[in-house]
Amino acid sequence: MAFCLQPAQDLDIRREDPDQGEVRGLLGALDAYLASLYAPEDNHILEVAELMSPDVHFLVARRQGSAVGCAAFRRMAGEPDTDGLAFGEVKRMMVSPEVRGLGVGSALLAALEARMRDDGLRLALLETGAAQHAALRLYRRAGYGPRAAFAGYPDNGRSLFFEKRLGP
C-alpha cells in the first residue's frame, strides 16, 4: 500500500522484517529517545525478537527506498475491560526526524488500523508516555480517546492509555 505525501514524494508502507539494519537503526533511535524521557521501568518496549512473533504485524515506511518510519501492532486477547473483544495494541511507532510533519506517522497509523480491520479486530489500544507530546497529538488527531490502563500496564501517572473503535 502506498500513500502520497506530496505529488513528488511517494511513501511506501509494507510489512517487513524488523531484524534489518536500517530498521534496527530506527528502533535504536526510538529506544534512545524513550530512555531520555523515562526510567527503564517506565519503558514498555517490544524487542526485535518479540516484534517477529506471529501475533505482531510490523510495518516499515520507505521514501525513495530508505526506511523513514516504522510501527507495529500486537494482536491481544480480549480482557474484561474490553468487553472480551480482542484488540490490536499499537507499538513501536517511530518517524525519522527529517520527515516529521510530512504525514508519515498518520500514514503508518492508518495502515496499521487497516490491517487490524482486515484481521477482524475492531478495537485499537495503545500506551504512550505523557512526555511524548507529538505522539499524543498524532493519536488524538487520528481519533484515539483516553481510556483506563490495560494488559497489565501500571497506572503510574507517566503512562497514558488510548483507544479507538475501528468499526462495528
Residue type (1 letter), 69: G
pLDDT in tens, 143-166: 999 999 999 888 888 899 999 999
With 70 as the cut, is the pLDDT of residue 5 above it?
Answer: no
Segment 71-74 long-range contacts (CB within 8 Å, at least 24 positions apart): 71/108, 71/109, 71/111, 71/112, 72/18, 72/46, 72/112, 73/112, 73/115, 73/116, 73/124, 74/46
pTM, to two decimals? 0.90
pLDDT in tens, 82-91: 989 999 999 9
> Which residue in 111, 162, 168 sits closest to 141, CA to CA?
162
Average pLDDT of the chain to the nearest whole number: 91
Domain topology for 2-125: Aminopeptidase (3.40.630)
Cell triple for residue 33?
529517545
Do residues 50 and 94 make contact, with C-beta atoms less than 8 angstroms apart? no
Instruction: Give the mean model confidence (pLDDT) for residues 58-72.
Output: 96
Residue 39 makes CB contacts below 8 A (sequence gap 6+) with none
Segment 27-35 long-range contacts (CB within 8 Å, at least 24 positions apart): 27/70, 27/92, 27/94, 29/94, 29/96, 30/92, 30/94, 34/129
